Amino acid sequence: MLSAEEQIKKLTDELNQHNYNYYMLDNPVISDFEFDKLLRELMNLEKTYPEYVQPDSPTQRVGGTITKHFASVKHIYPMLSLGNTYSEAELVEFDSRIKELITESVEYVCELKYDGLAISVVYENGVMVRAVTRGDGVHGDDVTANVKTIHSVPLRLKGDFPPLFEIRGEIILPHDRFEILNREREDIGEPPFANPRNAASGSLKLQESAEVARRGLDCRLYYVLGENLPYTTHYESIQKLKEWGFRVPDVMQKVSNIQQVIDFMHVWDKERKKLNYDIDGIVIKVNSFAQQQQLGRTAKNPRWAIAYKFKAEKVATKLLSVDYQVGRTGIVTPVANLQPVALAGTIVKRATLHNADVMHALDLHQNDYLFVEKGGEIIPKIVGVDLAKREAAAQPVAFISHCPECGAELKKNEEEAGTFCPNDTHCNPQIKGKLEHFISRKAMNIDSLGEGKVEILFDNHLVKNIADFYQLTAQNLLGIEKKIPADGNKPERVISFREKTVENILTGIQQSLKVPFERVLFALGIRYVGETTAKKLAKHFQNIDALASATKEELMEVEDVGDRVADSIIDFFNETDNLETVVRLRQSGLQLASLSFDNQLLSNILQGKSIVVSGVFSVSRDEIKNQIELHGGKTVSSISKNTSFVLAGDNMGPEKKKKADSLHIPIISETELNAMLK
């Protein structure tokens, strides 16, 4: 029998290895379900025996700490930045400067220049002890708890690492995570981030590490500092970092002359468009440490490295007008209509001005000529105004004061850049937005109704409030249609709802009555109440009446709920329209109170079944696993004689197929699974 301390150590090591298999090797050996079980076991033990919590505990990956104030820490070695170059000629000059100081041959290492935030992490005896932002280069903020949630930064090292060293790298937010994050922000009425770098930097400064964990930050580590390090070149040091468990640059090339550097730069200026993260250039480093030392540094930069920044193509074009788009949550986005102009392979006619603050900073005037830039990113960016071309009598362009859709007076939150229309119950794009949000996957998940169908229902005056969905009948729906106007090539078309469609819609709506309270709460679309906050509110208040009658103080007792969220909840339940909606939803039979976990299952069709999921599906693998668990099943990662069946998508691994066949385990498709669950 192991002691509590031994048990904690064992679970810590085991879970860290599973994390490594999953995140670094991309090769999990246990299912998410089994992982969560072990993690919960460790969390419980840690709660009872906090004195035995290990410094590399994997529970830190999911966060939980709240940092009210980030302490300022002095860097052991100042964090220098690199000199920038923008042309091949300047690269050649860099090479010549080096050759003046070093007579023997010089080898360079080329890397990508990650467009994120610099971070410095200290390891003592193989355990991560501190992570600090760059700050002013001398002092930075201690963001250790937040960085511990990033899986590419190891908590404990493997192998023959030095006892004390510092490592530098870049924190980035991959494009797919950036898009998810911005969609979620738009869903709850928060202004989206302008680019992944801003999003990464905003995320790293969050006070709640659990939220940082959910954002999905990533990191590349590329520079070690310390005494008596066991290698002599930069390239070797990176190989070592990899062995110790760090995620190092994906692309690195050793080259022996500056022409090869230039070739590398040209390749990546093109290839970068295919990456899942932003890079803004390449970095060139002298490989030999002895040579690096010989070259030394200037006041600001090392002489042994330089950054080449990719050129963003830039043109000037005339501002024709500014449109204002009202989003699904009422956020108003100004969009510039431009004289069409060719830029980096496309014709640019419009570009977002993001928000009132950005628009004011540009100080736009009528008929201004604007500089438009396009780098690696897909969206063109307005970067400035050509003042020399401004007409003397041109008037400034003022942000509108009233909603272009409904005429309500617009509002702006002081601490946020977004201007919004507060008329959320009677402004058309917001009504449609609420309806679409209500049926969406993470909310009521009525997938027989997509955005297009909701629009048809809205245009036919059948649904203008979320409660109206539950009043729909086959009679209402049969035969309703939408005309799609003719465009250049296609004549006018008419889409109409036939029997099968109607039946699917009504079944989908009926099934949504089983959706648990926390998701119904999220589906209501209360401004600033995202999926996570809804979960916490549901857990705390248990039912909608308790929530609706809570005071501001009571609301703020819930983790995550600050002033702004509390006010928004109170405003929501002060609206008569909203109260009526809640009454109607209750009459229709929606879940407005929490049930115990067992009752949250959608069915027990898969009770006792262990299922191996392999291949690519029409929805994400997490979604598939979630579905299985909601129907009482369990997913496991490897096939054994205890496996009930294998769920095979496209490109199922051939090894898995062989094994399933040899053990006579049935293989079923996604369609067959869906049929079972219906």
Structure tokens at 15: 């879970």
**DSSP labels, 568-631:** HHHHHHH-HHHHHHHHHHHHHT---B---GGGG-S--TTTT-EEEEESB-SS-HHHHHHHHHHT
Query: Contact, 310 vs 281, CB < 8 A?
Result: yes
Letter for the amino acid at 75? H
Structure tokens at 504: 């699917």
Cα Dmax for the chain = 88
Structure tokens at 431: 């009504």
Indicate the residue among 82 and 601 with the shorter CB distance to ligand IVH: 82
Indicate the residue among 109 and 520 with the shorter CB distance to ligand IVH: 109
Residues 214 and 62: their CA atoms lie apart, in Å, by 8
Residues 477 and 507: their CA atoms lie apart, in Å, by 13
Tell me how far the alpha carbon of residue 229 is from its chain's centroid. 36
Indicate the residue among 113 and 156 with the shorter CB distance to ligand IVH: 113
CB of 307 to ligand IVH, least distance (A): 5
Closest CA relative to residue 358, chosen from 193, 503, 510, 511: 193
Structure tokens at 231: 């290698």
Residues 330 and 347: their CA atoms lie apart, in Å, by 29
Query: Contact, 420 vs 331, CB < 8 A?
Result: yes
CB of 305 to ligand IVH, least distance (A): 6
Note the residues at the interface with ligand IVH (CB under 6 A).
80-82, 111, 113-114, 118, 168, 170, 222-223, 249, 283, 302, 305, 307
Indicate the residue among 82 and 509 with the shorter CB distance to ligand IVH: 82
CB of 271 to ligand IVH, least distance (A): 15
**Residue 245 CA: distances (Å) to CA of 143, 153, 355:** 21, 8, 42
What 8-state DSSP symbol labels residue 156?
A: B
Closest CA relative to residue 174, chosen from 225, 242, 247, 234: 247
Instruction: Give the residue closest to ligand IVH by C-beta.
Output: 118
Indicate the residue among 244 and 438 with the shorter CB distance to ligand IVH: 244
CB of 324 to ligand IVH, least distance (A): 37
Write down the catalytic residue from 47, 113, 411, 536.
113
CB of 218 to ligand IVH, least distance (A): 13
Query: Contact, 81 vs 224, CB < 8 A?
Result: no
Residues 141 and 119: their CA atoms lie apart, in Å, by 10
CB of 170 to ligand IVH, least distance (A): 5
Indicate the residue among 83 and 508 with the shorter CB distance to ligand IVH: 83
CB of 137 to ligand IVH, least distance (A): 9
Residues 105 and 126: their CA atoms lie apart, in Å, by 35
CB of 115 to ligand IVH, least distance (A): 7
Say whether 113 is catalytic.
yes
Three-class DSSP category at 335: strand
Indicate the residue among 305 and 348 with the shorter CB distance to ligand IVH: 305
Indicate the residue among 283 and 343 with the shorter CB distance to ligand IVH: 283
| 360: Cβ contacts below 8 Å, ≥ 6 apart | 399
Three-state SS across 391-460? Answer: CCCCCECCCCCECCCCCCECEECCCCCCEECCCCCCCHHHHHHHHHHHHCCCCCCCCCCCHHHHHHHHHC
Indicate the residue among 248 and 558 with the shorter CB distance to ligand IVH: 248
Dihedral sign for Cα atoms in the order 5, 6, 9, 12? negative
CB of 114 to ligand IVH, least distance (A): 4
CB of 494 to ligand IVH, least distance (A): 55
CB burial of residue 190 (10 Å; 0-12, 13-18, 19+) = buried
CB of 381 to ligand IVH, least distance (A): 20
CB burial of residue 267 (10 Å; 0-12, 13-18, 19+) = middle
Indicate the residue among 249 and 429 with the shorter CB distance to ligand IVH: 249
**What's the length of the chain?**
678
Indicate the residue among 46 and 111 with the shorter CB distance to ligand IVH: 111
CB of 224 to ligand IVH, least distance (A): 11
Three-state SS across 634-671? Answer: EEECCCCCCCCEEEECECCCHHHHHHHHHCCCCEEEHH
Rg value, the chain, Cα: 28
Indicate the residue among 166 and 187 with the shorter CB distance to ligand IVH: 166
Tokens 């002890």 correspond to what residue? 129
Tokens 């600090």 correspond to what residue? 132
Report, as residue numbers or ranges, the catalytic residues. Answer: 113
